[in-house]
Amino acid sequence: MTTSARRKLAAPTLAMLPRVADSLSFLYTEAVRIVQDDTGVCAQVESPNGTDRVYIPTAALACVLLGPGTSITQPAMATFARHGTSIVCVGAGGVRSYAGVLPASLTTAWLEEQVRAWASDDSRLQVATRMYEMRFGASSAPAGATLPQLRGFEGQRVKALYRLLATKYGVKRFKRNYDPDAWDDQDPVNKALSAANACMYGVIHAAVLALGCSPALGFVHSGTQMAFVYDVADLYKARITVPLAFSLHASTDPEREARRRLREDFRAFKLMPQIVADVQSLFDSSGDSSPTADRASDLVHLWDPQAGPLPAGVNYGFEAASVSISEFDTRDLE
């Protein structure tokens, strides 16, 4: 059975891929050419002696950030896709676009939970309130608070946090600024915060896709394809990226330093498993564990509101009363 083993190596099954909670957080690339050779993916770097190669552990990475000056070939792109690695194109000035993949056999259990919670205004507000309490502590949101009120509270708290940190690090008059046109003449804190947030979004995007959820259906944010990613990122900014950025107020290379520190924080706070667990608990008000722990779903069911899921691949022609049943009809058509 060497052929099937070969095929498995070329196109790994879900079972062979590390769960996103276990994976390395991100890899940021700049001014390299990413190609595939001998089925391995490597980044080629021009050096005085010729071309240096750095192999990229695709299957172990949650996301690859392609910075300015990178190019990538089609086979390399396809391999990233097969291994479920999110790709984020990060332009100079923090302009981002995302590419992700959905393995066909990925379960829809979490997507259905998300859509159910999102589709009714009541449950959507419940999730938004739960997010607020995750950020600022239990019962920090007054009972029956409306969404505009929550937004107001959040704004005040974030402002207070900026003030607190600016005082702590002796930063004068900090103002959050992510204007792409004035990217290069921004202060180190803004640069570090934008760089750290870009990595954070990429990693969360990968985690959301790995669960099978939609990055687009946000509860607080709405209107863009990344709304839910921004929702989830807000859970950690006050605790992680904002303090990190202020601590780099005197850094000469704030963006690189921010990425290095963020990786440390991902490890120290065990952030990858935390992101997955938090997303799951957002939709799941009862607080019990997942609807399914299994990522792969080999079966396609037919939905039936009364009978529950029914096996697909069966001819249900005999259900129509007007049809006379012959032996031929009851056999599977598979």
Partner 1 sequence: MASMVVISTTAIPDHVGGALSRWLIEPTPGLYVGTVSARVRDELWSAVSASVGDGVAVLIHPADTEQGFAIRTAGQRRRHVVDFDGLQLIKFAAIEAEGHASGTSSAIVK
Q: Which residues bind partner 1 (CB under 8 A)?
A: 24-25, 27-28, 42, 45, 47, 49-57, 256, 259-260, 263-264, 266-267
Cβ closer to partner 1: 43 or 127?
Answer: 43
- State the residue for tokens 């915060």: 193
Cβ closer to partner 1: 52 or 179?
Answer: 52
**Angle between helical axes of 121-136 and 271-283 (0-180°, round to 10):** 150
Per the annotation, does 332 bind a ligand? Answer: no
Q: Assess contact for 234 and 135: CB atoms under 8 A.
A: yes
DSSP bridge pairs for 43: 34, 54
Least distance (Å) from partner 1 to the CB of residue 265?
10
Per the annotation, does 83 bind a ligand? Answer: no
Least distance (Å) from partner 1 to the CB of residue 53?
4
Least distance (Å) from partner 1 to the CB of residue 75?
19
Least distance (Å) from partner 1 to the CB of residue 196?
11
Least distance (Å) from partner 1 to the CB of residue 257?
9
Cβ closer to partner 1: 114 or 197?
Answer: 197
| Type of residue found at 115 | V
Least distance (Å) from partner 1 to the CB of residue 256?
7
Cβ closer to partner 1: 141 or 200?
Answer: 200
Least distance (Å) from partner 1 to the CB of residue 36?
15
Torsion, Cα 291 118 133 141, to 10 degrees, reads -140
Per the annotation, does 154 bind a ligand? Answer: yes
Residue 71, token pair as written in the block: 């190019």
Cα separation, 241 vs 321, in Å, equals 62
Cβ closer to partner 1: 59 or 131?
Answer: 59
- For 116, the 3-state DSSP assignment is helix
Cβ closer to partner 1: 65 or 217?
Answer: 65
Cβ closer to partner 1: 20 or 282?
Answer: 20
- CA-CA-CA-CA torsion sign (273, 274, 275, 278): positive
Cα separation, 24 vs 59, in Å, equals 9
Long-range contacts (CB closer than 8 Å, 24 or more residues apart) made by 275-279: 275/21, 275/203, 275/204, 275/207, 275/232, 275/236, 276/19, 276/20, 276/21, 276/207, 276/210, 276/211, 277/21, 278/134, 278/232, 278/235, 279/110, 279/207, 279/208, 279/211, 279/213, 279/232
Query: Which secondary-structure segment (H or E) carries 51?
Result: strand 50-55
Cα separation, 282 vs 272, in Å, equals 16
Binding positions for Mn(2+): 154, 221, 234
Binding positions: 154, 221, 234
